[in-house]
Chains A and B, each alone.
Chain A
Amino acid sequence: DSGVTQTPKHLITATGQRVTLRCSPRSGDLSVYWYQQSLDQGLQFLIQYYNGEERAKGNILERFSAQQFPDLHSELNLSSLELGDSALYFCASSVDGTGDYEQYFGPGTRLTVT
């Protein structure tokens, strides 16, 4: 158990809909990262937050947005969903935002868009 929690575990929704994925980092970690992993693909970095502020952006679509709240939990919002958005979404946390420290991954949320 990494100490990072993600909810829900599974999500099935229709095209055009909007969903919110939630992540709680390990106790003491200030940075949260979001990744997307499509079937048989590598991990794609989406976005990073550090202590409530956006720190880095990766291959995140404009239909996707995220935020980190004062209690450090984070939410990833996916809107106008398309079939191609079906994937595993992972959240990871680390103690700081430099990339020098270990990232601990959550169990993931499996999103299926039908």
Chain B
Amino acid sequence: KNQVEQSPQSLIILEGKNCTLQCNYTVSPFSNLRWYKQDTGRGPVSLTIMTFSENTKSNGRYTATLDADTKQSSLHITASQLSDSASYICVVSRRGEKLTFGTGTRLTIIP
């Protein structure tokens, strides 16, 4: 069964600290992996999208890594800000098929 699992389920960190969110997937054959940020009650917003051949991709303070051999991805957030409080969703795509969504990591940044 094609699955996407994220950890931790929730995370609380102090403003200014770094954190790393994890995503493990069993989706195969793999097409691409995306990380989305979703503020409460709003639509998800794309942070990064990586294909099989990409190991790392950055978007400002967000850096995503991908290990297609172990089927793992991580999202690293540097120097967290209060506005980073949101759910972060890992999404994996099989070529030509619907996306498989993880259940997300809820991140809370406290001052």
**A interacts with B:** yes
B24, chain A: closest CB distance, angstroms: 15
* Contacts A/B (CB < 8 Å), 7 sampled: A2-B45, A43-B101, A56-B98, A100-B31, A100-B95, A102-B34, A103-B46
Contact of A110 among B41, B45, B97, B99 (CB under 8 A): B41
Smallest beta-carbon distance A12→chain B, Å: 15
Query: Interface residues of B, CB < 8 Å — how many?
Result: 22
Please report the total number of A residues contacting B with Cβ < 8 Å: 25
Chain A at the B interface: mostly helix, strand, loop or mixed?
loop
- Given the known inter-chain contacts A42-B89, A99-B93, A100-B32, please indicate yes or no for A106 contacting B98, CB distance below 8 A: no
B93 to chain A, nearest CB (A): 5
Q: A24 to B103, alpha carbons, bound, how many Å?
A: 26
Measured between beta carbons, the chain B residues less than 8 angstroms from A4 are 43
Find residues 34-56 in chain B having any chain A CB closer than 8 Å to their own CB: 34, 41-46, 49
